[in-house]
Amino acid sequence: MGQRSGDPSAPARLAAPDEGIGADELALATRNHGLPLEALRHDVTPPGLHYVLTHYDIPYVPNAGAWRLSVDGRVRVPLDLSLADLLSFPQITIRVTLECAGNGRALLTPRPVSQPWLVEAVGTADWSGVPLRLLLAEAGADPAAVDVVFTGADHGVERGIEQDYQRALPLAVALGDDPQVLVATAMNGAPLPPQHGRPLRLIVPGWYGMAHVKWLRSVTVSDVPFTGFQQTVAYRIRHTAGEEGEPVTRVAPRALLVPPGFPDFMSRTRVVRPGPVKLFGRAWSGQAPVTSVEVSTDRGVSWERAVLDPLLDGQRWAWRGWHYDWASSPGEYEVGARASDAGGSTQPLEQRWNRGGFANNAVRFVRVVCVDDARSP
Ligand SMILES: Nc1nc2c(c(=O)[nH]1)N[C@H]1C(S)=C(S)[C@@H](COP(=O)(O)O)O[C@H]1N2
Ligand SMILES: [Mo]
């Protein structure tokens, strides 16, 4: 087989053992930026610092007032809604931590060639909008339906398949009231910025990013399982190319630290002074509440328990702060944190590899040197 001449879209592949990041991966990395890890300090991520992932182009929407959202398929009364119509439904706000399923991909060996995330594909926002279940009730969704399909306004070609960006949720998840799926019109109290879905997007608390369809233009209730590209080809955990694989759904636990001290420009090695150093960061899981965070300064040989911030009311779907007081003395360290959740999941030390590079929540260690003065002689 191979690529036809003039074919713009190559098949998925793994990098060769010594192959560095390619120009194609670099082009994606400049479009799809991560959260600078020092921004883990903010409870709510300022929008320009929240990570961004867009498969195709960001749609140009000069006039949000002209946007329409249709609710159709297996419904009693199809709906065709403007932004003003959506705002006439009851509105709620949920604080949600979003993480791309490909976070950690570029750390895998062998490396799946795609958006080369290290660990920065995460952010937390206050999302406001209409609970999806209210729209499905208004339209009279058939309770015997199977899936609800969400279509974005962006269009592209991927692995040889031309498509609109589409994902589905099982009807029971779409109708859920804990958590509620949201048709969001605001991020941190302001209209959605273009890169985050202006003027409408789906928010599915606890699920990896691919479910949160941006630039949402239709919601289609279906009595057959959805088999679109982003559901059955992409976002599956596969160990061999031919297998059907398991769908990627909820976010696995992860803790990250605000990088301590100050960085070296190129290596990003951190420099701290001898004495007390407060290590702190965030931890989250979309599977069950975070129950513990542990810290290691020796690349996982020994672990100490960190102190978790109180779990605030209504913030189950947002990351949780933690801290640990470290007494540092001159030397070199590999500092990392690991989260566990109430479902019994703990971050692994070793990668759990799969062909798409999804859900790699292996503990990330940061190199820290403790010196009195980092200036070279
Ligand atoms: N329409 C549309 N929605 C989309 C995507 C996309 O490419 N098109 N990317 C998805 C993926 S893979 C992720 S991780 C999240 C990223 O959301 P953010 O850019 O607001 O952080 O959007 C999801 N929704
Ligand atoms: Mo993603």
Atom of ligand 1 minimally distant from the CA of 196: 20
pLDDT of 4 higher than 70 = no
- Provide, rounded to the nearest whole percent, the portion of the chain with pLDDT above 90: 95
User: For 248-266, what is the mean pLDDT?
Assistant: 98
Span 108-152, pLDDT tens digits = 999 999 999 999 999 999 999 999 999 999 999 999 999 999 999
Question: What is the rounded distance in angstroms from the CA atom of residue 174 to the CA atom of residue 27?
Answer: 34
Residue ending a domain, among 230, 247, 264, is: 247
**Does residue 84 sit in helix, strand or coil?**
helix
Place of tokens 């962006």: 154
Question: Does a structural domain hold residue 275?
Answer: yes
- 163 and 299 co-located in one domain: no
167 lines ligand 1 (CB under 6 A): no
Question: What is the rounded distance in angstroms from the CA atom of residue 148 to the CA atom of residue 164?
Answer: 16
Question: Does a structural domain hold residue 132?
Answer: yes
Q: Annotate 151-179 with b (16+ C-beta within 10 A) or e (fewer).
A: bbbbeeebeeeebbbbbbbebebbbbeeb
Nearest CA to ligand 1 atom 23: 210
Question: Does a structural domain hold residue 16?
Answer: no
- 283 and 324 co-located in one domain: yes
Span 329-361, pLDDT tens digits = 999 999 999 999 999 999 999 999 999 999 999
Q: What is the mean pLDDT of the chain?
A: 96
Nearest CA to ligand 1 atom 13: 209
- 282 and 362 co-located in one domain: yes
Residue ending a domain, among 216, 232, 247, is: 247
Nearest CA to ligand 1 atom 11: 210
Q: Please, which pLDDT band fits residue 47 given cuts at 50, 70 and 90?
A: confident
Atom of ligand 1 minimally distant from the CA of 197: 20
- 287 and 211 co-located in one domain: no
Question: Does a structural domain hold residue 377?
Answer: no
Contacts of 28 by beta carbon, 8 Å cutoff, 6+ apart: 114, 115, 116
pLDDT of 271 higher than 50 = yes
Q: State the pLDDT at residue 2.
A: 42
**Whole-number Cα distances in Å, 331 to 307, 356, 368:** 25, 38, 8
Span 303-333, pLDDT tens digits = 999 999 998 888 999 999 999 999 999 999 9
Q: State the pLDDT at residue 67.
A: 98
Q: State the pLDDT at residue 1.
A: 37
Ligand 1 centroid to Cα of residue 364, in Å, is 24
51 lines ligand 1 (CB under 6 A): yes
Contacts of 133 by beta carbon, 8 Å cutoff, 6+ apart: 174, 175, 176, 177, 180, 181
Q: State the pLDDT at residue 313.
A: 86
Q: State the pLDDT at residue 5.
A: 57
198 lines ligand 1 (CB under 6 A): no
- 194 and 278 co-located in one domain: no
- 169 and 59 co-located in one domain: yes
Residue ending a domain, among 228, 247, 266, is: 247
Question: Does a structural domain hold residue 33?
Answer: yes
pLDDT of 70 higher than 70 = yes
For the chain, how many structural domains are there in total?
2
Ligand 2 centroid to Cα of residue 228, in Å, is 16
Ligand 2 centroid to Cα of residue 122, in Å, is 10
At 303, which CATH number?
2.60.40.650
Question: What is the rounded distance in angstroms from the CA atom of residue 230 to the CA atom of residue 212?
Answer: 12
270 lines ligand 1 (CB under 6 A): no
Q: Which domain holds residue 163?
A: 23-247
CA-based R_g, the chain, Å? 22
Q: State the pLDDT at residue 3.
A: 47
Nearest CA to ligand 1 atom 2: 214
251 lines ligand 1 (CB under 6 A): no
- 31 and 142 co-located in one domain: yes
Ligand 1 centroid to Cα of residue 319, in Å, is 19
Ligand 2 centroid to Cα of residue 375, in Å, is 40
- 89 and 131 co-located in one domain: yes
At 200, which CATH number?
3.90.420.10
Q: Which ligand is nearest to the CA of 51?
A: 1
Residue of 51, 52, 212, 216 with the most ligand 1 atoms within 8 Å of its CB, for mutation: 212
Ligand 1 centroid to Cα of residue 320, in Å, is 23
Span 175-230, pLDDT tens digits = 999 999 999 999 999 999 999 999 999 999 999 999 999 999 999 999 999 999 99
Nearest CA to ligand 1 atom 21: 52
Q: State the pLDDT at residue 377.
A: 57
Nearest CA to ligand 1 atom 19: 52
